[in-house]
Structure 1
């Protein structure tokens, strides 16, 4: 949680700085504008970049700071209340749904991949996956007896399953932009 919160916060901060610079100078080229496919300038200025009438990265600044603080507390030995774990899981679920929607919008509507956004997607998915498994494993969320074997398998294969999740997303990126990638070789 501490690592995911810190990395997500830093990526959100970088996006916030680039967004402010673009607002101040429309000719500013963000540091993440690398190619016709990889860049965040047009993503920041899109309607998808400000879903609640303010830039999405501000959600990341607040959310990831809270996650990092909770991670630091757990690392220091704090025992979080059940409701806090459930709230963290609910927030991570909302975030993972949002980042998958933004992923879809980036690939198929905007036709660009924002590298800092991709960092946020990666840490959000990992955060959701590990907090959910933690809550199921520790009984924060009750697991029906018939599903306990499935849970044990998911816990044993947590890294493989997370890697598979990422691999599917990478394959979607590769296939969506195959013409561009193949033109570079």
Structure 2
């Protein structure tokens, strides 16, 4: 008997169903940001759009360039909401890139496989939030007309958002993946 090799074809790009999934998840994140975010009045609101692009990236596993495009679209959606203009167009692609890099790590531990959604989402949200904060302070000190809120207030909101996003993605990952017929395990 000859040894049979199973060859997995590499994806050429996002499929139509991938694009629709990203659109639906980003729209869901926008709705959450609008309604749940309206309960916060600390100058900066939690960004659930990050959770949704993290979930999309986990499920569709895009190439790095595609993940950056997802981040740019997420940043553009964030421009609809009140806040500091244009900063999300920088912070969200970086968060999406971090997410794509973290899920592409060739770590084969079962525990990592189970915790990948929570860990990757938490770190991606931190990357996005800290980038947002850094760009905001750079703009403030460069003389731009932006309101700089104290670092401790920002950091609390960033950490709380990272935790909330990590929990949301961990809870939704397997059910959404199964509902879409994308298999149970990575």
TM-score between both structures, scaled by the size of structure 1: 0.33
Q: In proportion to residue count, which structure has more helix?
A: 1
Q: Relative contact order, CA 8 A, sep 6+: which one is greater?
A: 1
TM-score between both structures, scaled by the size of structure 2: 0.33
